[in-house]
Amino acid sequence: MADIHPSAVVDPAARIGSGVRIGPFCVVGANARIGDDCQLLSHVVIEGYTTVGSRNRIFPFASIGHQPQDLKYHGEASEVIIGDDNTIREGVTINPGTEGGGMLTKIGNHNLLMAYSHVAHDCLLGDQVILANGATLAGHVEIEDGVILGGHTAVLQFVRIGRFAMIGGTAGITKDVPPFCLTSGGYRPGLAGLNLVGLRRRQFPNERIQCLKSMYRTLFQSTGSMEDRLEEAGRIAGDDAQALHLLDFIKTAKRGLLLHRRDSRETQ
């Protein structure tokens, strides 16, 4: 049974799971679905065709499912789908998809969206992603598992960020960021080596880290054509699944790749 504060406005058609707590002055629309044991602390608005999984905590003034900030949107019944065990902090905004982008904005499991971060229409986020305060995703952005975006980072539409990458604060990301990489912040973002701290925290074996280091040097710090560098990196990768994912990500880049900053002091 749900615990709904008397001041909350919950449409009778909304589907509310067991153990849900809906705090003061929340608004839940008719097409919303909220899974078991979620908590809406206060002043949370969930509208549109929004599905929220189980055990999510949503903090005051978050707005989820209101129409996207896209002038091409014409009221289509697009969706927001949010997985399980996410924390969505104060003032976060999450917009549904559009007809031009698959009709879906999707957020996976165990993510932390810090205060005032924004997930625009048709974005796809994996699991264990962290968006620090004020991080902003434009439409159609894809974020793979384990990515960390620093505070006030802005990501251009259609950009992809590969798994376990870390982006420094206040960066403007206009090209794809390869998996496992560290990106400098500020007004001149660029690759600064591997996200070694993140990889070690995730218990990547040393042999895999060494393999990724060699691939990074080959792909981003050596000379020659990208075709030749990819061929050499493929030999280094062997049959390692994570290394092969890095290669596949680079080969399928459509917005171009963020490159290594030559003035970086990062040692690999």
Say how far apart CA 132 and CA 112 lie, in whole Å: 8
- The pLDDT assigned to 261 comes to 83
Is residue 3 classed as helix, strand or coil in its secondary structure? strand
Could you identify the residue written with the tokens 């707005």? 63
Read off the pLDDT of each residue in 31-38 and give the average, rounded to a whole number.
98
What confidence tens digit (pLDDT) does each residue in 192-240 have?
999 999 999 999 999 999 999 999 999 999 999 999 999 999 999 999 9
Sequential DSSP letters for 172-233: EE-SBB-TTEEE--SSS--EEEE-HHHHHHTT--HHHHHHHHHHHHHHHSS-S-HHHHHHHH
Q: Specify the fold of 199-251.
A: Udp N-acetylglucosamine O-acyltransferase; Domain 2 (1.20.1180)
Domains 3-143 and 199-251 share a fold: no
- The pLDDT assigned to 266 comes to 47
Q: Name 28's bridge partners.
A: 10, 46
In this prediction, residue 43 has a pLDDT band, given cuts at 50, 70 and 90, of very high
Residue 267 has pLDDT above 80, yes or no: no
Let me know: does 261 contact 188? Beta carbons within 8 Å.
yes
Q: How many CA atoms lie within 13 A of 230 on its CB side?
A: 12
Read off the pLDDT of each residue in 36-53 and give the average, rounded to a whole number.
98
Let me know: does 6 contact 26? Beta carbons within 8 Å.
no
Residue 65 has pLDDT above 70, yes or no: yes
Q: Count of CB atoms within 10 A of residue 149's CB?
A: 30
What confidence tens digit (pLDDT) does each residue in 3-13 have?
999 999 999 99
Read off the pLDDT of each residue in 155-179 and give the average, rounded to a whole number.
98
Which CATH number, 3.10.20.30, 3.40.50.1950, 2.160.10.10, 3.90.600.10, labels domain 3-143? 2.160.10.10
Let me know: does 132 contact 114? Beta carbons within 8 Å.
yes
The residues annotated as belonging to the active site are: 121-122, 139
What is the pLDDT of the chain when averaged over all its residues?
96
What percentage of the chain has pLDDT greater than the value 70? Answer: 98
Domain map (residue ranges) of the chain:
3-143, 199-251
